[in-house]
Amino acid sequence: MIEDNTDNKDNHDAEHEYDGIKELNNPSPIWIIMLFFITFGFAGIYAVKYFGHPDNGMDQDSEYLTAVKEQKMSMITGGKGSTLTEAQMKVAGGKLFQEKGCVACHGGHGEGNTIGPNLCDNYWISGCSPENVVLTIREGRPEKGMAPFKNSLSEAQINQLSVYILKSLQGSNPPDGKTAQGELCK
């Protein structure tokens, strides 16, 4: 049964009457008001986390770039002639780094010296994409003093060296590292 509460003050009469039409004051239940304010809080946290927070890597652009980078990295680890796991590639690459003369220009553990740049920081002269490392080793930078290695290394070996550089050296920042050159990559 529907009650007629229109004349009952206790029942939320807002005391506004226009042409015999009364306004009732029926506040929403407290839980729905709380829910309303919770959405404010949620929106605030969401905006900071996914748009605003400086450099937390969770905005769409950064997520896109990370995904592209991971994809390119997987093309190196799973690239041509590769039958090794990533961990095995790091070891093989580390060995090649010592044996193939990279140490002469990049230092015993990639820290850089007067000739070649530091490979242990997060700065890259050739740009942030992992395939630039592959390209640099394969084609060299003849005009800057690094010869191409495509004739003395197989594609698989170039990939192993690249994995070693990108996964073991990059970001290891040894104390004796050469001053950073190039672009900061994340």
Residue with the two structure tokens 């680890």: 77
Q: Which is nearest to 92 in space by CA: 16, 13, 162?
A: 162
Residue 98, token pair as written in the block: 């010592």
Tell me if 137 contacts ligand HEC by CB under 6 A: yes
State the nearest-atom distance from the C-beta of 65 to ligand HEC, in Å.
18
What sign has the CA pseudo-torsion 164, 166, 170, 171?
Answer: negative
Burial of residue 80, with CB atoms counted within 10 A of its CB: 0-12 exposed, 13-18 middle, 19 or more buried: exposed
Point out which span in 5-13, 52-60, 79-87, 130-138 binds ligand HEC (CB under 6 A): 130-138
Residue 109, token pair as written in the block: 């553990």
Point out which span in 11-19, 50-58, 77-85, 140-148 binds ligand HEC (CB under 6 A): 140-148
- Residue of the chain from 76, 92, 120, 161 that contacts ligand HEC (CB under 6 A): 161
- Residue of the chain from 125, 139, 154, 173 that contacts ligand HEC (CB under 6 A): 125
Residues that bind ligand HEC (CB under 6 A): 97, 100-102, 104-106, 115-117, 119, 124-126, 133, 136-137, 141, 144-146, 149, 161, 165, 182
